[in-house]
Structures are given as structure tokens and as C-alpha cells.
Chain A
Amino acid sequence: MISDLFSMTVLVGILASGIRLATPYLYASIGETFSQRSGVLNLGVEGQMLLGAFAAFYVALTTENLWFGVLAAIVVGGLMGLAMAFVTINLHAEQGISGIGFYLFGLGLSDLLFQKMLGTVETVKGFPKVHIPVLSDIPVVGEIFFRQNVLVYIALALVPLAWFVLNKTTLGLKIRAVGENPEAADSLGVSVARIRYFTVVLGGIMSGVAGASLSIALLNVFQQNLTSGLGFIAVALVYFGAWRPWGVLAGALLFSLINSLQLWVQVLGIPIPSDIAVMMPYILTILVLVLTVSRVRPPSALTKSFERGD
């Protein structure tokens, strides 16, 4: 039975679905990387994802246009990010606590809207798999990488883009400086508030899209608490990835591959109690976090609100 895992088809299946499962994490974690690099810990990712997922699902269902769904998720996520930015940057609310508030808000509101506007679990026809010409015909590699839906491709493309923006542009330089030493950035005429608004709203948008990637590309349903903790894992992956896009990619892939592995273990009926199998990715996350956390240093100003003395 265990040996079933090592057949070529199963391995390819595990890897392909692992990459697919990594999509929501990638969107949310890359967005969160930007917020945290600028010094804002957004724990509301989960709530933003839930509202994004619902908005995308509802709009896609009613308009029958998946891209309108993504657009709705962007708008809703962006608005949530704007609210988070206002509360933490202008009102100087404690970031961790207000993040939990936004999570609970998103959890409650998405369920309320679901009950009122849909009532029952429905399904949409989500983003189809796009076979990239030529590349998708490469044996094994083609199956794993080049027969995914469009949101997977975009997520993977965002990793180098995020790296480039953070490290090669003046905007990235400002973001890094604001997250490390906002006083220094301020003294050079960099608006700390503007930079943080930008990153937190970006984080909200990315979380919204992460939700959309669940509800209209991966699962194609919406139900209460659809994300079930995924947004919190995304925050943990930012720490895991040491606040770097490539590290976040590695974390998202590792986590999703283990998740995919345990799903296949269950599908193949390998006699491991399913509760334990489901726990595996989470236990792994904790272990890896414990082992890596002392090695890397978070942005110095993370969670610290900034106020100029006047």
C-alpha cells in the first residue's frame, strides 16, 4: 500500500496538486511580506481572504465571469486593507489585536453574507487548467508545472516580481527602510504613513485574491469558514521565509507538498489515522518555525507604530 505512493503517476499527482495548493498561500504570504517588511503585522489575512473568497465566488456566480470575481476580490481585499491601515497607522491601534479583530470581522461577515445571499452551498465552474503549448507536453515536468490554472501561473510569476520590487526599486528601498528604522526614513523625507498604507492595502488585495484562488480556482465552492486557518499559515510562512519572496515560495511549496502528500495518503487508503495525517503539515510548520526562528531577524520596526514627535 505504502508502495503505491512511489508510482510515477502518484508522485506527479502529489507534486502537481502541491503546487496548486500553494497558490492561496503564495498570494497571501507575498502580500503579507510587503506589509511586514514595512513594519506592519497584519493578522487579519484570514478575514480578508474569507471576504475576498466570498466576493469572488458571488460575483463569478452571478455574472458568470471569473475575472469579475477576481476584480471583486481585489476591491474587497483592498477595502479591508484600507481599514486595517487606517486603524493601525492613523489610530495607532496595537497591530496584533486589531488584526485579530479584522479576522473575526471577516469570518462573521462572510458567513452572514453567505447565509443571506446564497443560503446553500453552490458550485461554480472555476478557472480551467491551461495547457501551455509545447511546455505542457514535456513528460513529468509538463504535467507538474504547465497544466495549471491561470491563477497558479500568476502566483508563481509574482515571486520574482516581488523580489525585484523589494530589492531593485526605490519603492522597495523605502519599504525596507520604513520597516527597519521609520525615524531614519522620516528624517529623509520618506512618508512612513504613505509607504505603510501602500503595503497594507497591497497585502489586503493579495489576501483577497488568495481567497478568490480558493473559491473560484481551487475548490470552486463557498461555505462558512472556507479558509479554515489558511490565512494564519500564510502569516507563519512569512516568518518561515525570513521575509523574502523566495523563502516564502519555499515555505509555501514545502507546506503544500506535505499537505498534498497527506491527501494522497488518504485517497489511497493507506492506514494512517486521517486525523494524524491532517495534522502533519501543521506540526511540520511549528517544527520548522522553531528551528529557523532564531536564525533570522524580523524587520526591527515590525508591529511598532510610528509617530513623529510634535
Chain B
Amino acid sequence: MAETNILPSGHTRIDHLEMLGISKRFPGVLANDQVDFSVTSGEVHALLGENGAGKTTLMKVLYGMYHPDEGRILLNDQEVSIQSPTDAINNGIGMIHQHFMLVKSLTVAENVALGSKSSREPLTDLHKVSQRIIDLGNIYGLEIDPNAYIWQLSVGQQQRVEIIKALYRGAALLILDEPTAVLTPQEVDEFFVIIREMAKDGHALIFISHKLHEVIDISDRVSVLRDGRKVGTYLTADATKGDLARWMVGRDVEFRPEIEVVERGEARLKIKGISCRSDLGTPGLRDVDLEAYSGEILGIAGVSGNGQRELAEVITGLRDATSGRIELDGEDISDLPPIARTDKLLAYIPEERMKDGMIKDFTIAENLILREYHKRPFSKRGMLNLKAIERHSEKLISNFQIKTPSQDTLAKSLSGGNIQKVVVARELSRQPRVIIAAQPTRGLDVGATEYVRERLLEERKSGTAVVLISEDLDEILALADRIAVIYEGQIMGVVQREDATPEKIGLLMAGVKEGAE
């Protein structure tokens, strides 16, 4: 490290940034409670915590998007007031958001130029901006075509644009909010190389994550948040994965659920040559062949937006296939409407649980009979049997440990984990033959995640065929007996559990087929 406080990008270094006693209240929630946090030049400081622990809130305070109710921010020992993202940017702070803040219909250069002063106001100076993008790309190993439109870029490339955007604005400190969530394992490796390089050059980096192995991989120090409070700040080298998990969750956590050996049975779901269109009218699935067997979990791995949603919707009948055939226990269900497939005991845990999984303004009891309301005992001759519905929901609330004041509570007032339990209870209580579970643990806390996974494993044991569609590769590797990798609507390959490594799956996820199989 050179003894100068100028970064390769030409901007001034931030030697030390400190947040002291930050509190932030939202209606009904104390998102940050007296949190202290600091980061120094040349350091990768991880901020670890579960969903809802207050990591993003704390960082949005630093970036001027939220105004704290209490607390101070010191930059190089000087107190600073950060009222807006503009203030943050002017102080050399940049943030890469979890959901990229890019305008898809604009080019890379336009996205980078947006909001910063042009050298020939009121006209844009895109040529100059493009040159600077190329220069920054060369310095930091972030090559990108400035004239490409964002929609043409892969997710990994879009992330580079986000980093360049921050560097262009003179960021000496970068906040990275769950930056790896959307990347393939290979892209994560490349990304970490860049992060390390930036730290070596004197940047200060804050890495928000809930993935323990990534925190251990990349960070120098780690601060753990739980329920809005800071548990502590530790040297990463001194912490084990078990320590981190315990600090994060507040108790011991099992990493890989014990998977019992279950004899694989008959094929229950057969998909042959299925193709369909995406919402945009482009090919959504291309000639997909899959089989899911009794007593197994078939994992569908892939980077977001490669046909996972289309696959779930075609199987459940919510989207029309343009060709192909779907069989449930040997019976052709290709032409059946969704309700008939449901009646044949095809269960579906949809990706968007609040939107597709339930009716927010219905009660728990009503949500629990959405699949069967038209059948006995829940209704007779078009009249609902309220007594039967009540008994049913009482039973499910206790069997599935749904935490709710009563069965008449509106679904929307439950926590995310309990909402998912309602969906899971409704779908699994019908003793389904096949379960399509799309992102069943996304956004859930560790407890609810464990619960859902255990339930899926129980279903597997009882002879159900489970199709687990997940963008979380760790989840797939932990649960699936076989892993099918989907890329641009095609199945790139099916890998047995024993042969599955993150590297192998990662290549398939990126659309790379190794040799002939």
C-alpha cells in the first residue's frame, strides 16, 4: 500500500468512518437500537445478520436514505451530516444496493452519467463519461462496454456497472448490500478478487450478508446484528462458522439437515418436451424434459429469471405450454385447468407468497381452505360449513405451529415466516402426490427456514415427489437428491447429489456445458 491518501481512482481515501449510537424507529419496530459501527481504509468489514436484523437500515442511514432518530456519524474524526444520497456521495460514500439501481432502458454510460455534473451542461458529455468508464474498468478490472444497454447485460455485468457508478462518483467507501445473492459461484469468486483488490488499494468496504462462508472468505472484521442490536464486532480470523451462526441467530444452528436415505420409487411427475413463452413473448422454456420420483427432492437450480417461474407455472397450469406433455402418476394432465390439477393432488408453494400464495385480506381460516373450499366437508350445496372450516384451521394451526392470535386474523398481519407456514400447511395437509416448491425459504429467518425444509424432507420420506425450485444454491445442495440446472429455459444437465459440487453446478448455471455427458 502506497503511503498516500489518494486512491487509484484519483479520489481521496477515507481513513476511518464511525457510526455512533445509531437508532432508527419505524412504526411498531425499532430497526436499529444504539448501534455502533466503524470501518477503516483497506478493510472489508462484514455486517452479518438475519433478514430483518437491521443491516440494510443501518447502511441506508449511512447512505442518507434514512434519517436516524439518534446517533452521529464521524468521518476521519469529523462529525458529518448525511441528509441524502447526494451528501453521502459528496463525502465519498457509495452504495451498491441489493436490487440494482439501474435504468434498464438506458446505456451503461447514461446510467453512470445520471445525476452527476456534466462538463458541458446543459448537454450530456457521454463521450467523456465513456472514456472514464473504460479507464476505471482498466484500473479495477471491471471491463464493460459503456454503450451497451443495461438490459443486454448479465447480472454479474450489471453489478460491475453499479461499482463503476460508485467509483465514478468518487466513492472511497463502498457499501455492498448482499452483493452475491444474484451471482453464480464463479461470479462470486471473480467478484471477491475485485473486492480484495479494492481493499488493498485503500478503499473501505462494508459487506452486508447473511451467508456465513462468504463472510469468513472475504472479511477482515465482522459485526453481527440481531433484532436491531449489535451483538459484537469480531476479527473474522478468530471466529468460526458456528460462532457466527450462534451470534446471528441467538442459538446453535444445524447447517445441513440430516438427510435420511429414502428408497426412490416410481416417477410421479413426468415432463416431456415442454416449451412455453415468457411474459415478454420470448421463449420461456425450451423443450424441457424432467421426471420427479416418489421419495425424492428434485432440485431446480439456476440464476434468477432463467425460466424457473415459467416452469412452476406450466406444471401447475397457470401458464399455457406451447408444446409438450405433463403426466401426474401416469395420467396426462397437460390440458387440465389449474383447479383440476390441484384436485389431482398437485401442491404448489408459489414464489410470491403474498401475491400468489394467499389472499392478504382473508383470514387464516379462509386461506387454509383455498384449495378445498368447494368440497366436503367445507361446503355443501354451495354453502360453507363454518364449523368444519374452524375445526380444520384449528388443527392446522397447531400441527404446523402457526403463530397467530386467532384463526380469524387477517393473513396480511402475520410475519413472513408464519405466512409461509400457512401456505405450507394448506398445501401439505392435503397429502399431495407432487409438490412444486418455488423459493420456499426466501426471505424467511433461520427458524422458519429450518421448519420449511424439515417439512419438505418429511414429505419426501412419505413418498411424495418434491420439486424444489431455488435460486439459493446452498439450499439445493443441502436438500436435493438430484439437481437439474436451468439456463435460459433449457435444462443444462441433471446432476446426482453425490456428484454435485458448487463449481460443477455453477458452470451449468452460467450456461457452460462441460464435454459431452
Contacts and interface: CB of A to CB of B under 8 A. Distances in A.
A275 interface: no
A52 to B, nearest CB: 27
A183 B101 contact: yes
Interface string B73-107: 00000000000111001000001010011111110
Contacts of B84: 189
A234 to B, nearest CB: 24
Interface string A169-187: 1111110110011011111
Contact of A180 (B66, B97, B103): B103
A171 B123 CA distance: 8
B66 A310 contact: yes
B163 to A, nearest CB: 14
Nearest to A297: B105
Contact of A184 (B89, B101, B113, B124): B101
Given A173-B113, A173-B114, A168 B103 contact: no
B118 interface: yes
A185 B115 contact: yes
A45 B6 CA distance: 54
Interface residues of B, number: 29
- For A181, A308, A309, which residue has the most chain B Cβ atoms within 10 angstroms? A181
A189 B106 contact: no
B333 interface: no
A185 B124 contact: no
Contacts of B113: 170, 173
B133 to A, nearest CB: 15
B103 A187 contact: no
Contacts of A190: 114-115
A188 interface: yes
A181 B102 contact: yes
A177 B111 CA distance: 8
B359 to A, nearest CB: 22
Contact of A187 (B67, B95, B105, B123): B95
Contacts of A170: 113, 118, 121-124
A181 B106 CA distance: 10
Q: Which of A171, A173, A300, A308 has the most CB of B within 10 A?
A: A173
B499 to A, nearest CB: 41
Contacts of A183: 101
A91 to B, nearest CB: 20
B50 interface: no
A180 B123 contact: no
B116 interface: yes
B103 A189 contact: no
Interface of A: 168-174, 176-177, 180-181, 183-190, 300, 308-310
17 contacts: A169-B123, A170-B124, A171-B122, A172-B124, A173-B110, A173-B113, A173-B124, A174-B114, A174-B115, A180-B105, A181-B101, A183-B101, A184-B114, A185-B115, A300-B104, A308-B65, A309-B65
